[in-house]
Structure formats: C-alpha cells, structure tokens
Structure 1
Amino acid sequence: MPDSNDLLVIGECVADIVRLPGAAEQVHPGGSPANVAYGLARLGHGVTLLTQLGPDAYGRQIRAHLAGAGVEVRTDGATAPTPCAAVSLDGAGRAAYTFEITWALGAVALERPPRHVHTGSVAAVMEPGATGVVAAVDSLRAAATVSYDPNVRPELMGDHEAAVRRVESCVALSDVVKASDEDLEWLYPGQAPERVAERWLATGPALVLVTRGGDGALAVLPDGRVPVGAPPVDIVDTVGAGDAFMSGTLHALDAHGLLGADGRERLRSVDRATVTDVLRHAAASAAVTVARAGANPPDAAELASALGGTGR
C-alpha cells in the first residue's frame, strides 16, 4: 500500500455542477487541489488531502470519490456547506465557473511531515483560510519540496494588487510552479507569459511551467526554455485539465527522484531531457482528461497507454 503521508495536498474541494443545454445537470467532484490529490492517487501515490467538507450530500459524494482512489481525507471538523460551482461549457468544451464557496481551513495535525506538499487555487488566496495554508506550507518546506498552481478564478481573487502579491509570495515558497497562460494574463495583463515565468523563476522556484491549452506547454529553467506540444485529442471538456497536468508533472518528477528534501538540489540542476520527459507525462495526463467528461485523470495504465506504452 502507498504511504498516505508521502504526498500532502492542501486545498479546497468543490462540487462542480455541470449544466449543458438540453441535458440534466450532472455533479462532479472537483476543486483544483482535490483534483490533483485524486490524480496522484490514481497514479499510485500515497496522498493525504487537508481540506474542508460539509456534512451534506455534496461532501459525502466528494469524500467517497476521493477515498475510492485511495486519498486519505483530513478535515478540520468545520461544518460549513461544501463549496460548489456551476460549470457551463461552450461549444469547444471550455468551462466557465460560478462559485459558492467559503474557505476557512483551521489547523490539522500531521503525524509526520510529508516528502512533498502541493497547494494553490482558492486555498492560497481566500481568507480567512489562506494565511494558515501559506504558513503550513512554509513550516513544512524544510522537509518537503513544494509545488504551487495559482489556478486563477478572477471572481474569487479579491483586490487585484493584493492577489498578485499573495500569488508571488506562494511562488517564492515553491520549488515547482505551474500556471496557465490565462492565469498569467489575468495577473499581468499584456505581459508575455514566458517573461513572467522567467521573473518567477528568479524569485526561488527551480522549475516554472506554463500551460497553453492546444498549443502545449513550456518549462522555464535557469538555462532556457523547454517546449512540448499538446497531444492530438478530441475534446469532450476541459474540466480538470490543468490539475491532471499538475498530477502528471509530480508523478514524473517523483519517478526521476526529484521530490522530497533530498531531491531538491537535483531538481535545481535538472537537465533538459528530464524536463522534456516530465512535460510529456504532464501533457499526456491532461490529454486523457480532456477526452472524457469531468475531472477524470488517468490511472497509471491509461497514462502509459497515452505515452505509447512508455509511461512509468
């Protein structure tokens, strides 16, 4: 059995209520950090998710969904309703969200520190919970590598300048950062995503990844950029695509021995061939997800198949 203390994800769960014209609404378990935890567990990793879930039908559905993949769910015992989001899809399967969410995660004790911590999205910017999340990550990073995905939701970010400062403080705490070109456009309007990624890299991370939808993705390293194309795929919807990219990234980094305090220095000197392999895994994970409904990332066998049988 995987060790559930191996990887720790801190962040929100959200019930995604998908509404399509002429069809009954469907409820999918979601929330960016929860999706990453689920994706990692599907790939065989031991994962603990620190989150909030209400004592309601959505909360029970999400808890069962996560547990079914092997995620250990830890909450602070709060009884606020489970966050939800109305998800509408356009003709190309692109998702737009309207949220009903509060985030006030309290302290949750851990028996021992994890090797890696991931956070992002609403959890790292929405108060009153965000301050505690960032403090928890900061306290754990001596023993663990850290990854971060801002997963910008403009309607939940609050004041723009304050949100940018919060995001930049999380970037500086992290070893690996992933952001979409849409995230970066909201944070820094009119600025080239590659230039923003280079600036972020200079503040602390070893690796900054930029996803570009159908145009693939880009890794920014101290010695340059590494691009990867998006695998051809018939898109059903894009729900959870960025989260699957993140879980695929962490899966591949771990396979290369680049997670954990003992992997941090190797991560800082990672070569371009290794980064290319990581990006291939991440892009393939996202491609499997967009080819089916909801945030439904691949398991290890599906990822290997998407990579042509070469997956780890």
Structure 2
Amino acid sequence: MSDFLVVGECVADIVRTPGSPDVPHPGGSPANVAYGLARLGRPTTLLTQLGQDDAGRLIGGHLASAGVKVLTDGQAGVATPTAVVTLDGRGAATYDFDIGWTLRPVDVPAGVRHVHLGSIGAVQPPGAAAALDVAARLRGSATVSYDPNVRPALLGGRVEAVARVERCVALSDLVKASDEDVEWLYPGEPAASVARRWLELGPAVVFVTLGGSGALAFTRAGQVTGAPVVVEVADTVGAGDAFMSAALDTMAGLGLTGAAARPDLPAAFDGPALARTLHRAGTAAALTVSRSGANPPDAAELAAALSPPGAAR
C-alpha cells in the first residue's frame, strides 16, 4: 500500500554543458517528486509510462533504488521520453523535449491518501484525460496536489494552456508553481494576484517558488515569505520537484493528507505551519541544486541540514 500516488511522465534528461560530454540523468517532474517522497520515507507509487529501452531501464532502476513502486498502463511499444537539458554558465537549465504521453485508464492502488499531478502528464493530450480522471476518482478519499511545471514548447496556445492548468488547480488542495510558470501563464500579473485567483478555484494553499530568492505561500488568510537557503549552485535541475516532495512530506507529517483532513486544511496551514513548510522545502531544494541532476535529499540528510549548528546528530 502506498500513501502517495504520483501521476505523470518520466523523462531521461540528457544534460548538456558546453565543453563537456552529454550526461543522462533520470528525470521528469512527477518522477522526481515520487523519487523525492520515497527518499523521505513515504511509501509512493508512480503511475507513468516507461519504454523497454535504455532510458526506461535507467529511470526504472533509479526509481527502484528509492523504493518507488512503478505502475504503468501496460501499453507496448512506448518510447521513454527524453529532454536535452542545456545548462548555462550559472547552472540554469533550458529544455528541448522529445515526448509523447498516451496514458490509458488504469486501476489504481487502494488506500492512497494523497494524489500528486504534475507537469506534462496533467495537461498534454491524450494521456492527460486519464491522469485527471485518476485524481477526480480518488479525490473522495485522498487530498490532491498539483505543480504545472510549465514547458511552453509543449503547451500550445496560452489561452488553452491556462484553461488546462486551471482545471488541475480546481482539483487540488495544494498547488506549487514557480515564478517563471506564473509569468508565462499570466504575463505581467503579480504572483500574489495569480495565487488569489487560484485560491478562489479551490486549493487551501498556493506556493510560488522564486529561485534563489526563496518562496511565498498564500492562503485565504494571508501570505508568508520563505527566505532563500543560500548554497553554491551546481545546476537547477529538479529544484522545484525537491521543494514539492518536501512540502508534501511536511503536509503528511502534520496529518493533513486524506480527504478527511480537507476541512482542516485552511486552519492547519497557519503562519507557523507555512513557515516550517517553506523552510523544509526550501532546504530540500537547496541541497538538490548544490549537486548535479535531480538528486533530492533523503530524510537523514534533510534532517541534518535543518539541525541548528552544533546540534547533536
């Protein structure tokens, strides 16, 4: 039995740095979130598509190493998606995708307490319909989260993309987006304004990450600012996914997963709870950007990073 069900794509990230050989890394935002949750000790299943190819074997082994259970729709002849990730001199990443998403309806595990939707798998047809159907079916017993993780090259027109994203937001109890996601979806509109728009659709909390400038949390009661956790950046691959995993782990630790907890979410996500979530999630993201690839911390590593200097470990 898994506490968490993550629905979405796996992608082999071919990391390209000028002057260096290409290096393949397991990736895909939902896969990264599932991996991060499992590393933090949360029983997690990933509903995805994986090809019987080198990239699929790389990702499958990577997920298994953390204890992630992989569930597919059983389709034959599916190729594992790839993305060429080009890093600039500051470690910032741009992506060039070769991806298809044709997920079909499947039976999902019983006992899931939380469903996470993410990125391409939540909005790209035809597979997005099956992904959203899972969230809608399980919402009666599970809480739901969503990260748009916008990839403009795969979203088509902005108006249609916003409609798809807002449909996912409306299904969710917790939403996380980057400031870059917000800017692409709603050009020129402040993050606080977008967060309020999304809160009106249904979520109890919206997080907006700001890269090296920290993160913000919004509820109907107000806003909390999370200070940046300063590290030397190797690359930014997987930073937002590590933030998401740690935020969901914190949510579970507060006893706020499962549909029965939904009425309690607005009161439970008060200022101190949001501040703690921002700090834990920001620290997880900082640890991830301090090394290459989407390599989030495990529970012991995150606990050590959060310990006061000089504390016994």
SS of the equivalent of 2:201 reads coil
Structure 1 residue 113: Cα displacement: 4.2
Which one is further off, 264-273 or 97-106? 264-273
Q: Where does the alignment leave 5 or more consecutive residues of structure 2 unmatched?
A: none
SS of the equivalent of 2:94 reads strand
Q: Trace 1:152-231 onto structure 2 (pairs within 5 A).
A: 152-231=150-229
- Whichever residue aligns with residue 80 of structure 1, its letter is V
- Could you tell me how far apart the structure 1 residues matched to 2:145 and 2:166 are? 13
- Residue number among 72, 76, 81 corresponding to 1:75 in the alignment: 72
Match of 2:49 in 1: 52
- Could you tell me how far apart the structure 2 residues matched to 1:238 and 1:39 are? 15
Q: What TM-score results when the alignment is normalised by the length of structure 2?
A: 0.96
Q: Where does the alignment leave 5 or more consecutive residues of structure 1 unmatched?
A: none
- Could you tell me how far apart the structure 2 residues matched to 1:111 and 1:105 are? 16
Structure 1 residue 268: Cα displacement: 2.0
Runs (4 or more) in structure 1 with deviation over 2 Å come to: none
Q: Is the 8 A contact 1:113 1:140 kept in 2?
A: no
Structure 1 residue 275: Cα displacement: 1.1
Match of 2:301 in 1: 302
- Residue number among 19, 22, 25 corresponding to 1:28 in the alignment: 25
Q: Is the 8 A contact 1:92 1:235 kept in 2?
A: yes
- Could you tell me how far apart the structure 1 residues matched to 2:275 and 2:284 are? 14
Match of 2:248 in 1: 250
Structure 1 residue 205: Cα displacement: 0.2
- Whichever residue aligns with residue 132 of structure 1, its letter is A
Match of 2:279 in 1: 280
Q: Deviations over 1:171-196 (max 9, x none)?
A: 01100000000000000000001110
Q: Across the two proteins, how many residue pairs are aligned to each other?
A: 307
Q: Deviations over 1:121-177 (max 9, x none)?
A: 000111100111112111110100000000000000112111100100110110000
- Residue number among 74, 84, 87 corresponding to 1:86 in the alignment: 84
Match of 1:125 in 2: 123
Structure 1 residue 110: Cα displacement: 2.1
- Could you tell me how far apart the structure 2 residues matched to 1:278 and 1:164 are? 27
Structure 1 residue 305: Cα displacement: 1.4
- Report the aligned-residue RMSD: 1.0
Q: What TM-score results when the alignment is normalised by the length of structure 1?
A: 0.97
Q: Is the 8 A contact 1:74 1:108 kept in 2?
A: no
